[in-house]
Amino acid sequence: MESITKTKLSYEQIVAVTRLDFGNTKDVQEIIELTDGYFNTAYKVVFHDGKAAVLKVAPQRDVVVMRYEHDLMEIEVSVMQKTNALVSVPIPKILYNKQEESLIENDYFFMEFVAGVPLDKLSKRLTEEQNKAISSNLGLIAKQINDINGKYFGAISQPEKQFGNWPDAFLCMIKDLLDDAADAHVVLPFAYDAIYNKVEAHREVLAAVKAPSLVHKDLWQGNIFVDPDTIQISGIVDFERAVYGDRLLEPVCGFLVENKAFMDAYWGRAELTREENIRVTLYKIYLFLIMVIECSYRQYDNDNQEKWARVQLDESFKNLADYTDFLS
């Protein structure tokens, strides 16, 4: 997907950065741009010894991004390093993280290349049982990641957005999105204040979350790599949106909450309580607000995402109203 956040590097720049960080012993044989991402630019760098690494490049510093997107690369590197140190899950290791001085202005890092095929490109070729097995395995992996507890709720790289409880953290996340919408003059289904108040009215339901869990927050199929021969998960990528929060945010942002095999392994059951469903609905509102608002910032080459996300956002608000009517 093309986006103004993506910085294209020349072949010569990539070779120069690679030699600077790995030394002259790593001669570059081939460079392939990985085009599936939506925010950063990524390149597969193949060396003459047959090994490969991924170079991930952050946007230019003068590109306007949403509030939660500040310092995403810093978040990604720190979360991947912490997760690799604490749990045994298939996450690529960081090979090199840009120091203060480098040949290019952008932040960047090198990580291990993950062999395999993104699940969104493979799932339709698999049997129902194979897809269920992958979903169950992903549920167990996500559970391990979420078992990493934080000392606060909220943003990882922005201390002013870290809180002692989940309602305050989540409402800050909502307010940031609404401020982003205001800056970009994005029209939403309700007035900004009305949207905030609709979420804030469920503070007590959010307060049921007592422990801050590390949430990947982007476990959609494109970030799950699968070995096409063994049909096993070979890698999980894109930790840049991670936060400390409610575990139920994970299946929502990964479009997995309706996936029974995943939820059975992850949550212990596919059926949720009414209060859990309210939290899920609030998180869907959060997710679809992001997907609508970011289109104005990224300037995608088509409007398919925005059209789809607006329909989902309207549906989520209707579902929240139904829960509110039931409880009133």
Which are the contacts of 207, defined by CB distance < 8 A and separation ≥ 6?
165, 166, 167
142 and 94 belong to one structural domain: no
pTM attached to this predicted model: 0.91
Mean pLDDT of 274-279: 96
Helical spans, DSSP H, in the chain: 11-22, 72-86, 119-122, 128-146, 166-184, 192-200, 203-206, 249-253, 260-266, 274-298, 304-327
- Look at residue 122 and tell me whether its pLDDT is greater than 60: yes
* pLDDT, tens digit (0-9, with 9 covering 90-100), for 138-195: 999 999 999 999 999 999 989 999 999 999 999 999 999 999 999 999 999 999 999 9
Domain containing residue 21: CATH number: 3.30.200.20
Radius of gyration of the chain (CA): 20
CB 204 within 8 A of CB 170: no
Tally of structural domains, the chain? 2
pLDDT at residue 78 in the model: 94
pLDDT at residue 328 in the model: 41
The last residue of one of the domains, among 94, 112, 130, is 112
β partners of residue 225: 118, 235
The last residue of one of the domains, among 112, 137, 166, is 112
pLDDT at residue 321 in the model: 92
Mean pLDDT over all residues of the chain? 91
The last residue of one of the domains, among 57, 87, 112, is 112
Out of 35-44, 84-93, 188-197, 254-263, which region has the weakest mean confidence (pLDDT)?
35-44
138 and 97 belong to one structural domain: no
- Examine residue 64 and state whether it is found in any structural domain, yes or no: yes
CB 320 within 8 A of CB 282: yes
- Examine residue 171 and state whether it is found in any structural domain, yes or no: yes
53 and 123 belong to one structural domain: no
Confidence of residue 326 (pLDDT cuts 50, 70, 90): very low
- Examine residue 6 and state whether it is found in any structural domain, yes or no: no
155 and 86 belong to one structural domain: no
Give me the sign of the Cα torsion angle 218, 186, 163, 73.
positive
pLDDT at residue 3 in the model: 59
153 and 280 belong to one structural domain: yes
82 and 151 belong to one structural domain: no
β partners of residue 153: 163
165 and 313 belong to one structural domain: yes
Range of the domain at 79: 11-112
Q: Within 10 Å of residue 136's Cβ, how many Cβ atoms?
A: 18
Confidence of residue 70 (pLDDT cuts 50, 70, 90): confident
pLDDT at residue 17 in the model: 84
- Look at residue 325 and tell me whether its pLDDT is greater than 70: no
76 and 169 belong to one structural domain: no
3-state DSSP assignment of residue 143: helix
Say which DSSP state 124 is in: G
Confidence of residue 310 (pLDDT cuts 50, 70, 90): very high
- Look at residue 327 and tell me whether its pLDDT is greater than 60: no
- The CA–CA distances, whole Å, from 298 to 260, 290, 291, 314, 322 equal 33, 11, 10, 22, 33
63 and 143 belong to one structural domain: no
80 and 136 belong to one structural domain: no
Distance CA 115, CA 207 (A): 41
- Examine residue 38 and state whether it is found in any structural domain, yes or no: yes
30-34, 63-67, 257-261: range with highest mean pLDDT: 257-261
81 and 155 belong to one structural domain: no
- Examine residue 2 and state whether it is found in any structural domain, yes or no: no
12-16, 249-253, 321-325: range with highest mean pLDDT: 249-253
89 and 190 belong to one structural domain: no
Confidence of residue 2 (pLDDT cuts 50, 70, 90): low
CB 57 within 8 A of CB 9: yes
